[in-house]
Structure formats: C-alpha cells, structure tokens
C-alpha cells in the first residue's frame, strides 16, 4: 500500500464523500442515540502518557470514544472484529476510500470515533500526547474530520524514542480539521491532536489499516 503515498509521508483529500454523506454521518454521531464512552487514559494509553506528561506543551484531557472495530491483541495475527452495532459508518468510509484509492480491498485494523470538548484553561500552544497508533504493526492511518473546528493534527520530527531521549518535540507539519476532510499518513509518524480552543467540539474518526 506504500504506493498511495509516493514520495510523501502524508496527504489530504477533501472530496471523497458527498455533502449528503458528510451530513448523514455527522448527524448520526451527534444524535441523542449515538453512544459515547469516557476514555480512561485521555487520548492515548497510560504508557505513552507517562513518557510525555512532563513536556511543557503536552496537556492531555479526557475525551469521549466510540470503538467500531478493534484488533484482538491476544491473537498473534491481530484479527479485527466489529465491536459496535454502528459499524456501517466505517463500512461506508472504507468503501469510499477504497474507490478513491482505486483499491479492490482495504484491510482495517482498528477504527474509532473521538469527541473532544473545548477546554476552558487550554492554550493554543498545548497539544495532546504524541504517539504512534500501532508501534508493532506496519500500517497506515486515515483520519476523517466530521466538523469544522480548531485542534490541528500535528506531526513531529523523528520517533518517540528519540523525542523522549532528547526531551524535545519539533513540530514539522499540521493539518486543520475541516468538515469532510480525510488525512492519510504513514503509521510510523509521531503525531497527535489538540483539544479545541475556539470551538465547542472536535470530532474525528480514526482508522488504522494494514499494509497489504
């Protein structure tokens, strides 16, 4: 699947879904009947958070999560299973992404939605914990932005180990949330998001795919 990136590490596409599809997905995820769950360790796992929590601009907060597909970690082949009765949302996105990328099949590893609320004591230079979604698996990532908001996705120079050792995080690029936008990037890129500063909520769907 590396051919989708060419000589780039990431790229953005804004026209994969129709406006009606964007509105339908957004309405469902913000309805009174869509279940959201509190994330125990903020935006990442406890181990990642502990390594970065002393960095001055790393300020993590709680977020709400809905898991659609999840890999069974105890399975050596990391087989993925649906864990939501709303998985048709992801099935539609995967179908549309595959059509855009001109691929017959995409193999999904994990998929979830994240909802982050505006934080009253936030600052524009603050961001969530840098991380790599699946350090042990060769994969690529797609983030779908459901609404216009602030709270950019940030990419950092180097990897987690070098950043922790040097006690330095250098931002090399950022992508702003925009309704209907898809961000694709290689899974080994150290990245994070930001809780919104100016808008009420930031909602994204995060999908991890195997390399075939």
Tens digits of pLDDT across the chain (212 residues):
558 998 999 999 999 999 999 999 999 999 999 999 998 778 888 888 888 889 999 999 999 999 999 976 555 455 789 999 999 999 999 999 999 999 998 999 999 999 999 988 888 899 999 999 888 888 999 999 999 999 999 999 988 888 888 788 999 999 999 999 999 999 999 999 999 999 999 999 999 998 76
Neighbours of 53 (CB within 10 A): 12
| Beta strands per DSSP E along 47-160 | 64-71, 80-82, 108-117, 139-145, 153-156
pLDDT for res 78: 59
pLDDT number for residue 38: 94
Count of H-run helices and E-run strands, the chain: 4, 11
Helix, strand, coil fractions of the chain, as percent rounded to 5:
20, 30, 50
Specify the pLDDT at position 211. 73
Structure tokens at 66: 């809905």
Model's pTM, two decimal places?
0.94
Task: Return the H-helix or E-strand segment holding 192.
Answer: strand 191-192
User: Token pair of 108, please?
Assistant: 């999904």
For residues 109 and 134, the answer to whether their CB atoms sit within 8 Å is yes
pLDDT at 209: 94
pLDDT for 41 equals: 75
Total number of domains constituting the chain: 1
What does the pLDDT read at residue 136? 82
Domain at 45, CATH number: 2.60.120.620
pLDDT score for 74: 53
State which residues form the domain around 196: 2-210
């Amino acid at each position: 699947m590396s051919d989708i990136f060419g000589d780039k590490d990431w790229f953005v596409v804004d026209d994969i879904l129709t406006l009606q599809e964007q509105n339908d997905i957004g309405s469902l995820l913000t309805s009174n009947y869509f279940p959201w769950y509190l994330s125990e360790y903020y935006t990442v796992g406890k181990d990642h958070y502990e390594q970065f929590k002393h960095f001055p601009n790393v300020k993590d907060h709680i977020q709400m999560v809905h898991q659609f597909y999840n890999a069974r970690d105890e399975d050596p082949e990391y087989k993925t299973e649906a864990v939501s009765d709303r998985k048709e949302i992801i099935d539609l996105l995967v179908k549309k992404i595959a059509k855009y990328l001109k691929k017959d099949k995409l193999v999904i590893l994990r998929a979830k939605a994240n909802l982050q609320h505006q934080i009253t004591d936030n600052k524009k230079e603050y961001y969530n914990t840098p991380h790599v979604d699946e350090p042990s698996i060769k994969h690529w990532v797609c983030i779908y932005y459901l609404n216009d908001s602030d709270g950019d996705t940030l990419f950092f120079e180097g990897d987690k180990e070098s950043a922790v050792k040097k006690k330095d995080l250098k931002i090399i690029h950022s992508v702003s949330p925009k309704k209907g936008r898809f961000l694709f990037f290689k899974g080994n890129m150290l990245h994070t998001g930001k809780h919104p500063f100016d808008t009420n909520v930031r909602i994204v769907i995060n999908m991890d795919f195997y390399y075939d």
